[in-house]
């Protein structure tokens, strides 16, 4: 029964993933947590100003699902802005459009989302070794934990 995939497709992960209001001691600082797909929803709708239909398509989800992602995302940002809370962007159910792989000899290459789903790479295209691993985002079954700790400086997908 043709169900929507769980992963929301994401084109972009912001480089800065933490925002904090000035002049509030850390001990009193409250935080809202924005997931990566919520940030992507805001980016597509409010920054790129795309129609909701197109945003949904870009993220590979239905319009209703997109609205369910966007609504709370906007509310969290408004809450942070007006109540002086920090915003942390991390986690969520998302899949990058492109994933970067690396083999044991250090070759790196990008694998498009569709390819990942249909025929995940089995070996390195340069040296044919089967010892390959996804670099970005880590996790999603390969278990390298919190991507937020690993992504710095790797924006060249």
- Residues near Zn ion (CB under 5 A) are 103, 105, 107, 124, 126-127
Report the alpha-carbon distance of residue 85 to residue 125 in Å, rounded.
Answer: 46
Report the alpha-carbon distance of residue 94 to residue 55 in Å, rounded.
Answer: 14
Whichever of 24 and 133 has its CB closer to Zn ion, that residue is 133
Task: For 101, list phi and psi in degrees, rounded to 5.
Answer: -115, 155
Whichever of 24 and 127 has its CB closer to Zn ion, that residue is 127
Return all residues near 73 (Cβ < 8 A) that are at least 6 apart.
34, 38, 39, 41, 42
To the nearest whole angstrom, how small is the minimum distance from the Cβ of residue 154 to Zn ion? 18
Q: What is the DSSP letter of 3?
A: P
To the nearest whole angstrom, how small is the minimum distance from the Cβ of residue 127 to Zn ion? 3
Q: Which residue is nearest to Zn ion (CB)?
A: 124
Task: For 156, list phi and psi in degrees, rounded to 5.
Answer: -95, 45
Whichever of 23 and 106 has its CB closer to Zn ion, that residue is 106
Whichever of 27 and 128 has its CB closer to Zn ion, that residue is 128
To the nearest whole angstrom, how small is the minimum distance from the Cβ of residue 87 to Zn ion? 39
């Amino acid at each position: 029964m043709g169900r929507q995939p769980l992963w929301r497709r994401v084109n972009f992960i912001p480089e800065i993933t933490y925002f904090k209001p000035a002049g509030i001691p850390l001990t009193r600082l409250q935080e809202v947590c924005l997931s990566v797909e919520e940030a992507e929803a805001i980016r597509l709708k409010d920054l790129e100003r795309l129609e909701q239909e197109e945003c949904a398509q870009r993220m590979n989800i239905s319009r209703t699902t997109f609205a369910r992602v966007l609504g709370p995302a906007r509310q969290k940002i408004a809450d942070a802005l007006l109540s002086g809370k920090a915003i942390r962007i991390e986690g969520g159910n998302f899949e990058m459009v492109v994933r970067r792989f690396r083999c044991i000899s250090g070759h790196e290459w990008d694998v498009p989302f569709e390819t990942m789903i249909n025929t995940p790479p089995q070996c390195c295209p340069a040296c044919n070794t089967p010892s390959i691993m996804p670099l970005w985002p880590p996790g999603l079954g390969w278990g390298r934990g919190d991507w937020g700790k690993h992504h710095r400086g790797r924006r060249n997908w």
